[in-house]
Structure 1
Amino acid sequence: MKRLSTYLLAGVALLSASCSDFLDTAPKDALSPSTTWKTEVDAESFVVGCYNGLLDPGSLLYLDCGSDIGYNNFPWEGWRVWGDGSLASSNTGASFYNFAIIRRCNTVLENIDNVEFSSPAKKADLIAQVKAIRAYRYFIMNWWYGGVPIIESYSTAEEAQVPRNTETEVRQQIAQDLDEAIASINVAPSVRGRIAKGAALAIKMREALYYEDWAKAKNAAQDIINLGQYELDNDYENLFRLSGVDSKEVILADQRIENIFGLGTIGQMYNNADAGWSSIVPTQNLVDMYEMDNGLLKEEAGSGYDETHPFANRDPRMDMTVLFPGQEWRGSILNTLDEMVDNKKNINYPLYTDNASKTSLSWAKYLDPIDQYSNIWNTAACVIVFRYAEVLLSWAEAENELNGPSAQVYDYVDAIRQRVGMPKVDRAKYATKETLRELIRRERCVEFAGEGLRRADILRWKDASGKMVAETVMNGELKRITGTVNYSETDPYKRATVTGSALIETRKFEPKNRYLPFSQTGVLDKNPNIEQNPGY
Structure 2
Amino acid sequence: MKRLSIYLLAGVALFSTSCSDFLDTAPHDALSPSTTWKTEEDAESFVVGCYNGLWDAGSLLYLDCGSDIGYNNFSWEGWRPWGDGSLSSGNPGASFYDFTIIRRCNTVLENIDNVEFKSEATKNDLIAQAKAIRAYKYFLLNWWYGGVPIIDSYLTAEEAQVPRNTEEEVRAQIAQDLEDALAGISETPAARGRIAKGGVLAIKMREALYYGEWQKAKEAAQAIIDLKQYELDADYENLFRLTGVDSKEVIIADQRIPNTFGLGTIGQMYNNKDGGWSSIVPTQNLVDMYEMTDGKAKEESSLYDAAHPFANRDPRMDMTILYPGQDWKGEVLNTLDELESDGKTKNINYPTYTDNASKTSLTWAKYLDPFEQYPNIWSTGTCVIVFRYAEVLLTYAEAANELDGPSDQVYSYLDQIRSRAGMPAVDRAKYGTKESLRELIRRERCIELAGEGVRRADILRWKDTNGKMLAETLLNGPLNRITGTINYSETDPYKRAVISGEALIENRQFAAKNRYLPIPQTSRDKNPNLAQNPGY
TM-score by length of 1: 0.99
Q: Secondary structure at the match of 1:499?
A: strand
Structure 1: distance between partners of 2:260 and 2:215: 43
**For 1:319 and 1:78, how far apart are their aligned partners in 2?**
29
Structure 1: how far apart are the matches of 2:183 and 2:224? 14
Are 1:196 and 2:196 an aligned pair? yes
SS for the counterpart of 2:456 is helix
Cα RMSD, aligned residues only: 0.6
Q: Which residue of 2 aligns with 1:263?
A: 263
Aligned mates of 1:180, 1:21 — CA distance in 2: 32
Contact in 1 for aligned 2:214/2:399 (Cα 8 Å)? yes
Q: Which residue of 1 aligns with 2:472?
A: 471
Whole-angstrom distance in 2 between the partners of 1:116 and 1:381: 37
The AA in structure 1 aligned to 2:327 is E
Shift of 1:26: 2.1
Please show how residues 34-45 of structure 1 align to structure 2 within 5 Å.
Answer: 34-45=34-45
Cα distance in structure 2, aligned partners of 1:466 and 1:116:
55
Structure 1 distance, partners of 2:109, 2:10, is: 21
In the alignment, which residue of structure 2 is the partner of 1:307?
306
Q: Deviations over 1:351-375 (max 9, x none)?
A: 1000000000000000000110000
**Residue pairs, 1:52-201, within 5 angstroms:** 52-201=52-201
Q: Which one-letter code corresponds to 2:350 in the other structure?
A: Y
Kept after mapping to 2: 8 A contact 1:268/1:277: yes
Equivalent residue number for residue 370 of structure 1: 371
| CA deviation after TM superposition for structure 1 residue 30, in Å | 1.3
Paired amino acid for 1:351: T
Contact map agreement 2:27 2:154 (CA 8 A) in 1: no
Q: Does the aligned pair in 1 maintain the 2:360–2:505 contact within 8 Å?
A: yes
CA distance in 2, matches of 1:107, 1:398: 36
One-letter amino acid matched to 2:240: F
Counterpart in the other structure of 1:252: 252
Higher mean displacement: 402-411 or 22-31: 22-31
Aligned partner of 2:485 in structure 1 is: 484
C-alpha displacement of 1:453: 0.3
Aligned to 1:322: 321
1:416 counterpart residue number? 417
**How do 1:285-304 residues align onto structure 2 when only pairs under 5 Å count?**
285-300=285-300, 302-304=301-303
Does the 8 Å contact 1:296/1:303 carry over to 2? no
Greater Cα offset, 16-25 or 132-141: 16-25
Q: Is the 8 A contact 1:28 1:103 kept in 2?
A: no
1:27 and 1:295 map into 2 onto residues whose CA distance is: 55
* Residue matched to 2:23: 23
Alignment of 1:338-357 (within 5 A): 338-341=337-340, 342=342, 343-357=344-358
Post-superposition CA distance 1:155-213 (Å, at most 9, x none): 11110000000000000000000001011100000200000000000000000000000
**Alpha-carbon distance in structure 1 between the residues aligned to 2:303 and 2:446:** 22
Whole-angstrom CA distance in 2 between matches of 1:183 and 1:291: 43
For the 8 Å contact 2:336–2:486, the answer to whether it is kept is yes
Aligned twin of 2:447: 446
- C-alpha distance in 2, partners of 1:497/1:327? 12
Quote the residue 2:501 is aligned against: 500
Residue 229 of structure 1 aligns with which residue?
Answer: 229
Please tell me the residue identity of whatever aligns with 1:334.
Answer: L
Which amino acid in 2 is paired with 1:440?
A: I
| Partner residue, 1:516 | 517
Q: Which residue in the other structure is 1:432 paired with?
A: 433
**Secondary structure in 1 matching 2:285:** helix
Between the aligned partners of 1:333 and 1:470, the Cα distance in structure 2 is: 35
Describe the SS at the equivalent of 1:97: coil
CA deviation vs aligned residue, 1:68-99 (integer Å, no higher than 9, x gap): 00000001000000000000001001000000
TM-superposed CA distance for 1:9, in Å, is 0.3
Paired letter, 1:478: L
For residue 273 of structure 1, what is the aligned residue in structure 2? 273
Return the offset for 1:16: 2.7
Counterpart residue identity of residue 241, structure 2: R
Alignment-mate amino acid for residue 396 of structure 1: A
Asked if the contact 2:323/2:333 (under 8 Å) is kept, the reply is yes
**Counterparts of 1:175 and 1:519, CA distance in 2:** 26
Instruction: Work out the CA distance in 1 between the residues paired with 2:406 and 2:459.
Output: 22
Contact 2:256 2:263 in 1 (8 A): yes
Question: Residue 200 and residue 21 in structure 1: after superposition, are their counterparts in 2 closer, same or farther (change >3 A)?
Answer: farther
C-alpha contact 2:97 2:520 (8 A) present in aligned 1: no
Offset, 1:17: 2.1
Helix, strand or coil: the match of 2:302? coil
Amino acid at match of 1:12: V
Secondary structure of the corresponding residue to residue 36 of structure 2: coil
Does structure 2 retain, via aligned residues, the 8 Å contact 1:373–1:379? yes
> 2:486, 2:498 within 8 Å by CA — same for their partners in 1?
yes
The whole-number CA distance in structure 1 between the counterparts of 2:435 and 2:28 is 50
Deviation at 1:18, TM superposition (A): 2.1
| Conservation of the 8 A alpha-carbon contact between 2:23 and 2:524 | no
1:203 and 1:422 mapped to 2: Cα distance?
29
SS in 1 for 2:494: coil
Separation in structure 2 between the aligned mates of residue 140 and residue 470 of structure 1, nearest angstrom? 19
Work out whether residues 292 and 303 of structure 1, in 8 Å CA contact, stay in contact via their aligned partners in 2.
no
Partner of 2:10: 10
Question: Is the 8 Å Cα contact of residues 14 and 49 (structure 1) preserved in structure 2?
Answer: yes
| 1:22 Cα deviation from its structure 2 partner | 2.6
The answer on whether the counterparts of 1:141 and 1:148 sit within 8 Å (CA) in structure 2 is yes
Contact 1:297-1:303 at 8 Å conserved across structures: no
Q: Shift of residue 24 of structure 1?
A: 1.7
Distance 1:153 1:56 in 2: 24
The 8 Å contact of residues 284 and 481 in structure 1, kept in 2 or not, is answered as yes
Shift of residue 23, structure 1, vs aligned partner: 1.5
The amino acid that maps onto 2:104 is: R
CA distance in 2, matches of 1:249, 1:445: 18
Distance in 1 separating the partners of 2:16 and 2:409: 46
Question: What SS is found at the alignment partner of 1:490?
Answer: coil
Q: CA deviation at 1:506?
A: 0.2
Partners of 2:396 and 2:21 in 1: CA distance: 40
Does structure 2 retain, via aligned residues, the 8 Å contact 1:249–1:388?
A: yes
2:322/2:365 contact within 8 Å kept: yes
Aligned partner letter, 1:112: I
Partner amino acid for 1:385? Answer: V
2:306 corresponds to which letter in structure 1? E
Contact 1:480-1:501 within 8 A present in 2 as well:
yes
Aligned to 1:60, the other structure's residue is in SS state helix
Give 1:239's aligned residue.
239
8 Å CA contact 1:27–1:99 kept in 2: the answer is no
Q: In structure 2, what is the equivalent of residue 400 of structure 1? A: 401
1:106, CA displacement in angstroms? 0.2
Q: Distance in 2 between matches of 1:16 and 1:460?
A: 37
